[in-house]
Amino acid sequence: MNVFFPSSCVPVTFCSFFIKLSPFIFTVYLKINSLTPCITNCLLLSQILTFVTIMSTLLDFGVKPYNHYGAYLKEKYKDKRVFKIIVDGNFTCPNRDGSKGYGGCAYCNVDSFTPDSARKLPTIKEQVEQGIERAVNSYRAEKFIIYFQPNTNTYAPVHYLKSMYDEALSIAPEHVVGLSVGTRPDCIDFEKVALLESYTDRYDVDLEMGMESIYNETLTRINRGCSHEELEKALDLVQNSKLDICVHTIFGFPWETREMMLRYAAEINRFPQIKFIKLHHLHIVEGSIMGVQFKREPFPVFSLEEYTDFLCEFIPLLRPDIIIQRTFGLADLDLLIAPNWGLGKSSIQSYIDKTLERRGAIQGSKYVSS
């Protein structure tokens, strides 16, 4: 986004005033200015003031100070309600089965992030059918994205992956619009990319890779079994791909400073092939290595206020075209050790969004292209 303020328009000093007043006024200013750069001050101010009168209701209509996934889906699928159906393909990970280590990532207990419906259902067909039924009944969903989420969903031979994806996509084909596959950067190769691309003539396909941290020291300490250079290699592999690429980050490893975490933004911005991002705070859960470490010697974790304050600084650094799928994560309360924010998903999202709006934290407002 190229920000410019021609001399014929409102002075920068005044712009600074209403940028602080409301991020949405700033957004309106940029849009008006880009469409009619020679517009008179009077007309510009009139349009701005019109938006000021309704700015308090914009969040209620889904307008947020960042490029969010819900709005993207709504526009792409023409207001249809689109819902992800989580599928557990019973995969494992190379740092669990011994090929790269044992025990998995230090923060991870897969069950803590996987719904009961996906854990207990024995077949792909049952998982998809019951997931769709629940989404329709609970959320009035109309279209669906099949989401292979738990563990590493490309960690198998290509013919086996194809049979799994085909089976999941064959259920309710008239209502399924997408395939989403979560994996690790070291479990992607040319053949697997080609397989996923073979579905793009019928579905929107996104490949979600766990970046987690940009620091190899952190990746080693959390037993990731995968380096940041392997992520770079995977991103190079999909540079001109038809796939939509998503990366997943975790903020709050106790040895990483705020400044270190803020540098994630510049690293993510380097890769134009990254379309989506998921931002998560660190959870400490039962059954994980870090869970044991935390019980022995507790370390600081984000409070909701601290995490939101961090997002208010991080999100403005992100490229404005990146679509944020999540701003935080959730873990099963039965397994969660810390942090327990004591609020439900919608309340947490509302708090984050309102704080971002109030503080004028607009995605891309501090982004500097290289």
**26-38 pLDDT, tens digit each:** 454 444 445 454 4
Contact assessment for residue 147 and residue 118, using Cβ atoms and an 8 Å cutoff: no
For 151, phi and psi rounded to 5 degrees? 65, -150
**297-309 pLDDT, tens digit each:** 999 999 999 999 9
Domain span including residue 40: 12-57
Is the predicted pLDDT of residue 59 greater than 90, yes or no? Answer: no
Count Cα neighbours of 96 within 13 Å in the Cβ-side half-sphere.
16
Q: Are residues 100 and 43 in the same domain?
A: no
**348-363 pLDDT, tens digit each:** 999 999 999 999 999 9
- Predicted local distance difference test score (pLDDT) of residue 43: 56
Q: In the structure, what pLDDT confidence band is assigned to residue 44 with cuts at 50, 70 and 90?
A: low
Q: What is the mean pLDDT of residues 85-110?
A: 92
Both tokens assigned to 335: 């397994």
Q: Is residue 1 one of the residues assigned to a domain?
A: no
Q: Is residue 210 one of the residues assigned to a domain?
A: yes
> CA–CA distance from 110 to each of 90, 287, 324, 366 (Å)?
11, 9, 23, 35
Is the predicted pLDDT of residue 24 greater than 90, yes or no? Answer: no
In total, how many domains does the chain have? 2
Supply angle C-alpha 107, 112, 118, rounded to 5.
135
Domain of residue 312, CATH code: 3.20.20
Question: Is the pTM above the cut of 0.85?
Answer: no
Q: Is residue 81 one of the residues assigned to a domain?
A: yes
**164-196 pLDDT, tens digit each:** 999 999 999 999 999 999 999 999 999 999 999
Q: Is residue 88 one of the residues assigned to a domain?
A: yes
Q: In the structure, what pLDDT confidence band is assigned to residue 109 with cuts at 50, 70 and 90?
A: confident
Q: In the structure, what pLDDT confidence band is assigned to residue 122 with cuts at 50, 70 and 90?
A: confident
